[in-house]
Amino acid sequence: MNRITIAIDGFSSCGKSTLAKQLAGHLGYTYIDSGAMYRAVALYVVENALVRDGTLDKAGLMQVLDGLDICFQHDPMTGRSATWLNGRNVEQEIRGMEVSRHVTLVSPVPEVRAKLVKLQQAFGKERGVVMDGRDIGTVVFPHAEVKLFMTARPEVRAQRRYHELKLKGAEVDLASVVENIAQRDLDDTTRAADPLTKATDAIEIDNSDITAEEQFVKALDIVLEVLARVGQE
């Protein structure tokens, strides 16, 4: 059977990763969370004093960027893939608010994007991959056979993210989650390098009023249709 590339883009907390994991699990494909890679760079700059008074020390980051080792490894404890930075499992740390607040300092930097896009393209070289992010259908895999663009109303997204963080035991209030999501939407769509845009050939799914299961069925229908078509080519 032909293996394809599935690109899932959209705003923060739109259920992209839930859908990507469901599709990858169902199809036996590899799931790659591209946002985790930007989060790993953000963690690095926070931990290494490359952010001062909310400003990124870009020259300092440029000196170490080439040497940053970001990869994914199966974690036998959770049974899931975990993000590794320079030989250390950072899956927990990169999900916190501290990293969320700093990630849009590093994600607009063209050199950071160039490095991570290259890595992402290498991860997807063999196809059979589901990758989620902001520029997957437009920049990383412009020839992906399936491109989905996820949306949901901002208040729905904030509630989802708040519950997710609470479930993980984070000390967080809804107002700061709303503020963080609004700020990241603005940063993601207005940055000069590879801003978040819907690819012209992407199919939009608004999941504000549907369950994760309904969303999965919808997306799987789209994927199966494409698989049937490429199988005949």
The residue ranges that bind ligand DC (CB under 6 A) are 12, 34-35, 38-39, 103-104, 107, 133-136, 184, 188
Q: Which is nearer to ligand DC, 38 or 227 (CB)?
A: 38
Nearest-approach distance from CB 12 to ligand DC, in angstroms = 4
If DSSP codes are grouped into helix, strand and coil, which group holds residue 216?
helix
DSSP 143: T
Shortest Cβ 5–ligand DC spacing (Å): 14
E strands of the chain, at which residues?
Answer: 5-10, 30-33, 51-52, 55-56, 70-75, 80-85, 88-89, 129-133, 146-151, 203-206
- Shortest approach of ligand DC to residue 136 CB, angstroms? 6
C-alpha 96/C-alpha 168 separation (Å) is 10
Residue among 2 and 189 whose Cβ is closer to ligand DC: 189
With 0-12 CB in 10 A as exposed, 13-18 as middle and 19+ as buried, what is 47?
middle
Nearest to 12 by CA among 189, 141, 145, 211: 189
CB of 128 to ligand DC, least distance (A): 19
| Tokens 């997710």, residue located | 164
C-alpha to C-alpha distance for 219 and 99, rounded to whole angstroms = 30
Question: Least CB distance from residue 129 to ligand DC, whole Å?
Answer: 14
Closest CA to 222 of 78, 54, 27: 27
Decide whether 45 or 103 has the Cβ nearer to ligand DC. 103
Residue 27: partners with Cβ closer than 8 Å, 6 or more residues away: 128, 130, 223
* Three-state DSSP state, 49: coil
Least gap, CB of 172 to ligand DC (angstroms):
15
Nearer to ligand DC by Cβ, of 182 and 203: the residue is 182
Query: Least Å distance between CB 184 and ligand DC?
Result: 4
**Closer by beta carbon to ligand DC, 160 or else 184:** 184
